[in-house]
Chains A and B, each alone.
Chain A
Amino acid sequence: MTQSHRIDAKLGGGQIDRTKTLRFTFDGLPYQGHPGDTLASALLANGVRLMGRSFKYHRPRGPLSAGSEEPNALVELRTGARQEPNTRATVVELFDGLTANSQNRWPSLRFDAMGINDKLSAFFAAGFYYKTFMWPKSFWEKLYEPIIRRAAGLGSVTREEDPDEYDKGFLHCDLLVIGAGPAGLMAALTAGRAGKRVILADEDFRMGGRLNAETYAVGDVPGADWAAASVAELATMPNVRLMTRTTVMGAFDHGIYGAVERVADHLPTPAKGKPRQSLWRIYSGRAILAAGATERPIAFENNDRPGILLAGALRAYANRWGVKVGERVAIFTNNDDGLRSALDLQAKGVDVVAVIDSRQGGSLLPGIRHLQGAEVIDTSGKLGLASIAVRQANGRSENIAIDALGVSGGWNPNVNIHSHHRSRPVYDPGIAAFIPGSDGPPGLLVAGAAAGQMSTHAALKTGRDAAVAALELSRSPDLPEAEDMPIRITPLWHVAHGKGRAWIDQQNDVTVKDVKLAHQENFTSVEHLKRYTTLGMATDQGKTGNVIGLAVMAELTGRSIPETGTTIYRPPYTPVALGALAGRSRGREFRPFRLTPSHHWAREQGAVFVEVGNWLRTQWIPKPGETEWRQSVDREVLATRKSVGICDVTTLGKIDIQGTDAGAFLDRVYANTFSTLPVGKCRYGLMLREDGIVFDDGTTARMGEHEYVMTTTTANAVTVFRHLEFCRQCLWPEMDVQLISTTEAWAQFSVAGPNARKLLEKIVDQDISDAAFPYMGAGNITVCGGLRARLFRISFSGELAYEIAVPTRYGDALLREMLARGAEYDPVVYGTEALGVMRVEKGHVAGGELNGQSTALNMGLGRMVSKKKDSIGMVLSQREGLTDENGYRLVGVKPVDPNGKLTAGSHFLEKGAAPVAANDGGWLTSKVYSPHLGHDIALGYLKAGDKKIGQRMRIVNLLSGLDTEVEIVSPHMFDPEGERLRG
C-alpha cells in the first residue's frame, strides 16, 4: 500500500501525477499507483518484482524492460468478457480499478507446480519436441498432442464475446512520422512548420520517446520538457495530427502503413459510442521511421531472475516513473550507456554498489566502485535477485549482495518496419548492431537511433534532415543544443563460464546451450536457428534476444556477424488484437446483406429467411398450426400446382444488354444462339467457362432489335457481369454493345400455377391471353393502370408461369396488389424450398448441378453447344475427357419403396457392389420430398446415366448408414410432356 520503492519527489518527480492515486489489484492483492504509471512501474513502485512465469521452464520472471519489447512481464488484464491474455505490463497504462492476474502458473505465482520443468531442463532443450514425441506413432494423437496442448501457451482467453467495438479508418498525409522521440519530433516540427500534412504516431501514451526517460538537456531545458513543448507546438498546427497510443505495425505497398490506435485500452471501458481500438490505413506521401532503439542484455548464467533488468530500463523507471527497482543496485555493461545508467540512478539516491564493466581501460567513474575487465558470471535468489557472482579482471571471483542489476549489452536500432519489404539490415561494427540496409520500402527514410544515430544531437539532426529530404523543403530549421556523446562499445554477447543456463531469449526460454545444440546439429543458418530453438518467436518477436542469438552462433561457427546475417521482420511490429483486424465485420455485420422487395411483407407473415449469396430470401412461410418446415413447404407446392403461387425472384441477376452487336455478343458468350431470337421472345441460355465447364444459366429475352435482358443465377450475378465486361472490353473491343446491371432496379416475381394468367389479368393492363402472349413471350407492359412493367412467360416450376417485373420501389405494392386482386384464386406465396421442390420435380438444374465441375453434356444439354459459331468454352468443351460417352449424366432417382429415404451427397452403387470408391457410380446432387408423388425424389450425376434409365441401383451413404434401392428415371419426373406450362 505504501509504494515503498517510489523515489522521493524532491529528487525528481518523474512524469507521474503524485497528487492523484489510482487503485488496482494484481493476483487479487490491492495496490496503488499514479496517473502516468504503467502496470509494471506501479508494481515495481510497490516492491513487486515477480510478475510471471516463463513459457517452458516456468522460471520466476519480472520485467526486463520498460517498453513494448518486454518478453517476461505478460499478464492477464481485466476479467470477464474483457479478459485479455499476454498483455505486457510494461506498456499497460494504469487506470483506477485495473485488475491484472499473472499467468502460466499453478496454483500460484510464488509456488508453481510446473516449476518442475526447470529441474528437468535437460530434457527440454531445443528440438525436444522433434526428438521426444516421435514414436510410437500411435501415441501422437492420443497422448503427446493433448499433453503438449495443455502445457503450451501462456495466458487464457475468455470464452465470452468481446463486448467492445473495433473500428477501421483511412488517413492521408504528406508525411507519416513513426515514433515521437527526438528524431520524430524534430521531423514533425520541420514538416509541420512548412505547412505539410503530417501524422505523428507513437505507441506510448506520452510522446517524447527516450527523452522522457533521460535527464539531459535539449536547448536550455530538460529533454522531457523540450518534448512536451514540441508536442504543444505541433498540437496547435491544423495540418498535424498527433496520434498517441498508436503503433504503426506494418509497412505495406505504395506508401500505405497500418496502425493500431488503442483508443480506450487505458480506460476501464470505452466511452459510449467509442471503439476500444481503431485500425488505421495510412496513405502517406513519404514516411520517416524514427522508432528509436532497444537495449539488449548480455547472456550469463541465471541472468533471468526478477530484479535483473536492462540498464536503460532501470534508469527509465527512475527518471520517468520515480521508481527504484532495488535498494542496492549494480550495473553490468560493455558500453558507455551503462555508465550513464549508473550515474542517473546514483543521482536518484539509489545505492549503486558496483559497475561491472567488461571493457578494459578508459576513465573510472568517480564515486562508484567501477570494476573494469570484469563480468557477472552467475546470480542467486529464489523468487528474485539476491546476489551476483563477479569475476574480476585478475580472475578472482566475488559475491555481491544486491536486489537489482541493470544490464547493458548495447542498443539495437528498431529497424523492423524498414525490413517489411524484405530489406536486410546490415551490421555496423561502430555500434555493434544492425542498422537499416538498402532497398527499404520506397518513400521511407530512417532517422535517429533507428538509423544507428545514437546521440540526441544526431537524432534531432537526422530527424530534421529526413523531413527536409523527404518533402524537398527549401528551409531547414535550426536545431537545439543537445548531447553528442559517442557510443563506446566492446561487444560482449555472452559470458563464458560453467555449465549453467544463460538466457538469450527469455520469452521462449532459449539459452546459450540451445544455440550450441543447434550448431552441433548443423542448424547453423539464422533461419534454421530460429525455427529449431524458437529464438525470436512469440509476442516479443525477439526484440531483445535475436541479435545475441545470432552473435553466439557466429562465434560457434567462426564466422563474422555480417557473414552470419540476421532474420528479417514481418508485420506486425507488436501483437495486434484479432478484434482490431476484424473491425466491424463480425456477427450479423460480417458482410453486408440485401433484402428483397417482399421482405417486409414476408416478415409480417412470420417467414423463415435463408441467406442466398448476399441476399436474405424467404425460405418458407409457416401458417398457424404448422409445426414442422415440411408441412409449410408441401402446402406451398401443392397450392401452387393446384391454383397459383407467387415467389420473389428479384435476386436473380439482371443485365441489360444493348447495342447493334448485342445479339452477336450474346452468341459469343452463350453456348447457344440468341441473334435469331425474335423480338418479344425469351430463350433459355447456357453459359460456359472457357475451359468448357458450365458457368451459369438463365433466361434471356429480346426486348427490341438491339436490346436484350439477360438473367443469371443469384449466386453468379456479380461474376457473370464481370465476365461479360471482360469479353466486351478485352476480347471484342470493336463490338457495339453496352451492359448495365439492373438487378437492383427491378422487383421481379414468379407467378405460377393453373390460375397464374387469371390472376395476372387482374393486374396487367394489356391482353395476355395465350394467343397474345404465348409461351416464352416477353414484353414491356403496364400494370395497375399505367405503371411500367415487364412480363416474361417463363417457368421454372413447370406450371403455366410468368415472371413480372416492376421498378423496385413498387415491388412491395405489386405483391400486396396481386394477393388482394387475385384473392379468389387463393394465391400462396412460396419460398426457396418450394421453389427447389418444383424445379427438382421438373429436372431443372440449379446450384447442386451447376457445381463448377459439370459440362453441358453431363447435364443432358450437350446439344445446346452450337459448333456453328465461336463462343466462350465451345472449343474446350469438345476436348477428350469431357466428351466421354460413358461419363456422368444427369438422371432422376426415386426409391423403389415409397418410404425409402434419399439424401443429397449419397453415392450410386450397383446392387451387391461393395461400398468402396472403385465401385462408385456417381452421386446425388439434389434431393427433395415431392408431395405430388408422395415420396423422396432426387437428381444426380450417374456414370452413363442416360443408358441406365429404368434400371435399379442403390443409393448409399456411409456417414448416415443409408442404403436405399432406387430406380433410375428421367430427370423430368413431373409432367414430362410439359403440358401444364403451355396451358
Chain B
Amino acid sequence: MIIHHPILGPRDAQEFVYLGDASLIDRPDGMTAGVEAFHDYLYQRTNPAGEHQELWYHEQGDRSWLVVTRNTVTHEITKVELAREVARARGRTK
C-alpha cells in the first residue's frame, strides 16, 4: 500500500506502524469518566466493511501519527490527515 503523507508525499506502508481505529483519539478524561467509559473507549470498536478511519505511525519517517481513511474492502485510501490536526478538530485541547 502507498500512503500519501500530508507532509512527505507518497510513502510505502512498510514505513508505517498500524495501531487501529482512530476513535482511540477520543480518550475520556480519567478524572471525570469512570471504568465504563474507559471500557467502551478501549474495547468497543466498529469493524466496518468499507470506509474506516485508522491510526498509522510513520515510524521509519518523520514520526507523525496519521489518520488514514481507508476502505477495508478495496484498500482504497481516500484521505490522510495529521492526527494532531484531527485531534484538535475534535476539540482535544485539554
Contact = CB atoms under 8 A, between A and B. Distances in A.
Interface stretch (A98-106, A588-596, A873-881): A873-881
Give chain B's interface residue range (CB within 8 Å of chain A). 35 or more
Contacts of B28: 875
Contacts of A283: 2
A725 B65 contact: yes
A678 interface: no
Contacts of B30: 870-871, 874-875
Given A253-B75, A722-B57, A729 B87 contact: yes
Contact of A725 (B29, B57, B76): B57
A442 B76 contact: yes
B19 A256 contact: no
B31 A733 contact: no
Interface string B2-38: 1000000000010001010000110111110111001
A733 B83 CA distance: 9
A733 B35 contact: no
Contacts of A718: 59
B interface, by DSSP: helix, strand, loop or mixed?
Answer: mixed
B31 A869 contact: yes
B35 A879 contact: yes
Which interface residue of A255, A690, A729, A732 has the most chain B CB atoms within 10 A?
A729
A730 interface: yes
B84 interface: yes
Interface in B41-55: 41-42, 55
Contact of A726 (B2, B19, B34): B19
A230 to B, nearest CB: 32
A876 B57 CA distance: 25
Given A722-B59, A871-B30, A876-B38, A254 B65 contact: no
Contact of B25 (A725, A730, A869): A730
Nearest to B70: A253
A730 B55 contact: yes
B79 to A, nearest CB: 15
A733 B87 contact: yes
A734 interface: yes
B59 A733 contact: no
Given A254-B1, A730-B55, A733-B84, A690 B42 contact: yes
Contacts of A255: 2
Nearest to B31: A870
A219 B55 CA distance: 56
Given A253-B1, A870-B30, A878-B35, A733 B76 contact: no
Interface in A724-747: 725-726, 729-734
A696 to B, nearest CB: 17
A635 B13 CA distance: 49
Interface in B65-94: 65, 74-77, 82-88, 92-94
A691 interface: yes
A870 B24 CA distance: 16
A421 interface: yes
Nearest to B28: A875
Given A691-B42, A875-B38, A732 B92 contact: yes
Contact of B84 (A256, A729, A871, A879): A729
B8 to A, nearest CB: 15
B67 to A, nearest CB: 9
A871 B76 CA distance: 36
A876 B39 contact: yes
A717 to B, nearest CB: 12
Nearest to A869: B31
B38 A731 contact: no
B10 to A, nearest CB: 9
A731 B42 contact: no
Contacts of B87: 729-731, 733
Interface string A690-730: 11000000000000000000000000001000100110011
Given A283-B2, A730-B65, A254 B75 contact: yes
A730 B38 contact: no
A254 B10 CA distance: 11
B83 to A, nearest CB: 5
Contacts of A725: 57, 63, 65
Interface in A441-473: 442
Nearest to B93: A734
Contacts of A878: 35
Which interface residue of B1, B13, B28, B63 has the most chain A CB atoms within 10 A?
B63
Nearest to B30: A870
B24 A730 contact: yes
A176 to B, nearest CB: 15
Contacts of A876: 35, 38-39, 42
A730 B88 CA distance: 8
Contacts of A256: 1-2
Nearest to B75: A253
Contacts of B35: 875-876, 878-879
Nearest to A689: B42
Given A725-B57, A875-B30, A730 B83 contact: yes
A436 B55 CA distance: 35
A841 B43 CA distance: 39
A82 to B, nearest CB: 31
Given A254-B75, A733-B88, A875-B38, A726 B57 contact: yes
Contacts of A254: 1-2, 75, 77
Nearest to A880: B35
Contacts of B93: 733-734
A731 B92 contact: yes
Contacts of B63: 725
Contacts of A726: 19, 24, 55, 57, 65
B66 to A, nearest CB: 9
A421 B74 contact: yes
Contacts of B17: 722
Interface in A813-851: none
A722 B94 CA distance: 21
Contact of A875 (B24, B33, B59): B33
Contacts of A734: 88, 92-94
Contacts of A871: 30
A255 B10 CA distance: 12
B38 A690 contact: yes
A729 B2 contact: no
Nearest to A252: B1
Interface string A420-443: 010000000000000000000010
Nearest to A721: B63
Given A690-B38, A730-B83, A870 B29 contact: yes
Given A875-B34, A875-B35, A730 B29 contact: no
B38 A733 contact: no
A133 B25 CA distance: 54
Contacts of B83: 729-730
A733 B84 CA distance: 6
A668 to B, nearest CB: 9
A879 B41 CA distance: 14
A722 B18 CA distance: 11
A442 B38 CA distance: 40
B39 to A, nearest CB: 7
B63 to A, nearest CB: 6
Contacts of A691: 42
Given A690-B27, A722-B59, A730-B83, 12 more contacts: A252-B1, A256-B1, A283-B2, A690-B41, A730-B65, A733-B84, A733-B85, A733-B92, A734-B93, A734-B94, A875-B38, A876-B38
CB-CB nearest 8 A-B residue pairs: A870-B30, A254-B2, A253-B1, A729-B84, A729-B65, A253-B75, A733-B84, A875-B38
21 contacts: A252-B1, A253-B75, A254-B77, A283-B2, A442-B76, A690-B41, A722-B17, A729-B64, A729-B65, A729-B87, A730-B25, A730-B83, A732-B92, A733-B84, A733-B87, A733-B92, A734-B88, A734-B92, A870-B30, A874-B30, A878-B35
Interface of A: 252-256, 283, 421, 442, 690-691, 718, 722, 725-726, 729-734, 869-871, 874-876, 878-879
